[in-house]
Amino acid sequence: MAAALGCPFLDTGAMYRAITWAALHRGIDLSDDEALSELAASVRMEIGPPAPCFLESHTIFVDGEDVTARLRQLEVESAVSLVSSVPGVRTALVRVQREMAGGQPLVMAGRDIGTVVLPQADLKLYLNASVEERAQRRHRELSTLGQQVTPETVLADLRRRDRIDSQRSVSPLQVAEDAIVIDTDGLTLDEVVRRVLEEVKGSA
């Protein structure tokens, strides 16, 4: 989508995965909200263009270390919703995300962009898909990365993450009142992009 519009792209989920990896790598207790908040506020995170060898939409460095290849590790996937539910973590990363937006044309993806990060965005799109559809997509993605995981495990993890993200006290997953909802079940990537481009052109 960003490429079609000639805009920068920011996937905020990758930022939360990077913090989660850093917490696991440094042995931080994931139940210690204060320690996680301090970590998010203190690390130096740099985001660059994607490398050809990775499916990630960015190359992400944490304190100078390239962690891109580690963002989809199963232990990171399993813990990211817990880490991202910590208020101090969200406060630190939302501040960075707003700075990155900086008033420039930007495509930003995440579960709280239209409601919290950029509530005054010119166009808000909520891409919806059933949990079964999303599980199939994620399983294909993980298989491409060489990770051996069953479809049932992926489905159960997505349901757990949805529950955590929807019930967290800060920035819960919800649809912004002025967002346009697009149901992507059964659509290809190209079809979704065309549908979104129609909304962009209609809002211009």
Q: What is the pLDDT of residues 153-190, one digit of tens each?
A: 999 989 988 888 888 777 778 889 999 999 999 999 99
For residue 76, give the amino acid letter: V
* Token duo for residue 129: 């898909």
Instruction: Tell me what the pLDDT averaged over the chain comes to.
Output: 89
Residue in 12, 9, 175, 176 with CA at minimum distance from that of residue 80: 12
Q: What was the pLDDT predicted at 136?
A: 92
Q: What was the pLDDT predicted at 54?
A: 62
**Between residues 14 and 171, the one the model is more confident about:** 14
Residue pair 52/135 in contact by the 8 Å Cβ criterion: no
Tell me the per-residue pLDDT of 105-129, one tens digit each, with 9 for 90 and over: 889 999 889 999 999 998 999 999 9
Provide mean pLDDT across the span 74-90: 91
Residue 118 DSSP code? -
Q: What was the pLDDT predicted at 95?
A: 93
Q: What was the pLDDT predicted at 26?
A: 96
**Between residues 170 and 19, the one the model is more confident about:** 19
For the chain, the distance separating the N- and C-terminal CA atoms, rounded to the nearest angstrom, is 16
What is the CATH T-level fold of the domain 2-198, as seen in this structure?
Rossmann fold (3.40.50)
Separation between Cα atoms, residue 57 and residue 34, nearest integer Å: 30
Separation between Cα atoms, residue 114 and residue 177, nearest integer Å: 9
Per-residue pLDDT at 56 exceeds 80: no
Residue 173 DSSP code? S
Of 26-40, 126-140, 142-156, 159-173, where does mean pLDDT reach its minimum? 159-173
Q: What was the pLDDT predicted at 188?
A: 92
Instruction: Find where tokens 């052109």 sit.
Output: 201
Provide mean pLDDT across the span 16-33: 96
Q: What was the pLDDT predicted at 55?
A: 65
> Between vectors from CA 181 to CA 116 and to CA 150, what angle results, nearest 5°?
90
Torsion on CA atoms 69, 75, 80, 82, rounded to nearest 10: -160
Q: What was the pLDDT predicted at 128?
A: 92
Q: What was the pLDDT predicted at 130?
A: 94
Q: What was the pLDDT predicted at 146?
A: 79
